[in-house]
A and B are shown apart, each in its own frame.
Chain A
Amino acid sequence: NAGVTQTPKFQVLKTGQSMTLQCAQDMNHEYMSWYRQDPGMGLRLIHYSVGAGITDQGEVPNGYNVSRSTTEDFPLRLLSAAPSQTSVYFCASRPIRQGGYGYTFGSGTRLTVV
């Protein structure tokens, strides 16, 4: 099925560990992005990309790295996990052109850092 595949769904990390959240889409969308959602807060943009080889920072980029080597994949790397990074993470994609319904979201990753 076409859409955004996000893995893993759940993850527990120890403080200081690193990990990569995977995001892949098969809709040939140019725009891909990562968000975190904390209790009582809205979605906050971490990093985004408008195409392969192009990435930029969002609202809360510290502690996270991204790369976009292909149109399909946009992994999010946590360099040294901290308890403050405990959150639910969403990946989303959309076409740059106008029209359609806009964003397609992944199912989310619930990350706990202990």
Chain B
Amino acid sequence: KNEVEQSPQNLTAQEGEFITINCSYSVGISALHWLQQHPGGGIVSLFMLSSGKKKHGRLIATINIQEKHSSLHITASHPRDSAVYICAALKTSYDKVIFGPGTSLSVIP
């Protein structure tokens, strides 16, 4: 069993839909990262969370430390949101990161 899992693996949505991507982990962590990888290959860091909730534009990330679960929400989805979304768990600031397998999102006009 992978230490960091994501669901769904693939997701197709209509433009404007509310999207949720889930990440669950089995290890104790100090922080969880959400990354976005564009079709061209570039990787951008979206959020780093250690508790609660963060919001940036149409993106919202939440984390429940007790349940070892994080979610990434996209409101009013747009075709430019089409990308692979990756969660990554960090045990300590000095430690290795453990990546989830990624969720491939396609938003159709």
**Could you list which residues of chain A lie within 8 angstroms of chain B, going by C-beta atoms?**
31, 33, 42-45, 48, 50, 56, 58-59, 88, 90, 92, 94, 96-105, 107-108
Contacts and interface: CB of A to CB of B under 8 A. Distances in A.
B1 interface: no
Nearest to B35: A103
Q: Top 4 nearest A-B pairs by Cβ distance? A: A102-B48, A105-B43, A103-B45, A102-B45
Most chain B CB neighbours (cut-off 10 Å) among A48, A102, A105: A102
B63 interface: no
A104 B41 contact: no
Main secondary structure of the interface of B (DSSP, over half): strand
Given A42-B101, A105-B43, A108-B42, A99 B48 contact: yes
Interface string B28-39: 001101010000
Contact of A42 (B31, B48, B96, B99): B99
Contact of A48 (B35, B43, B48, B96): B96
Nearest to B56: A101
Most buried by A among B41, B43, B99: B43
Contacts, number: 59
A20 B88 CA distance: 27
Interface of B: 30-31, 33, 35, 41-48, 50, 86, 88, 93-94, 96-97, 99-102
Contacts of A56: 96
A38 B35 CA distance: 17
18 contacts: A31-B94, A42-B86, A42-B101, A43-B88, A44-B99, A45-B96, A45-B97, A48-B96, A50-B94, A58-B96, A96-B93, A97-B93, A101-B45, A101-B48, A102-B33, A103-B48, A105-B45, A108-B42
A98 B50 contact: yes
Given A42-B100, A42-B101, A96-B93, 18 more contacts: A33-B97, A43-B88, A45-B96, A45-B97, A45-B99, A88-B41, A92-B43, A98-B30, A99-B48, A101-B46, A101-B48, A102-B45, A103-B33, A103-B35, A103-B43, A103-B45, A105-B42, A108-B42
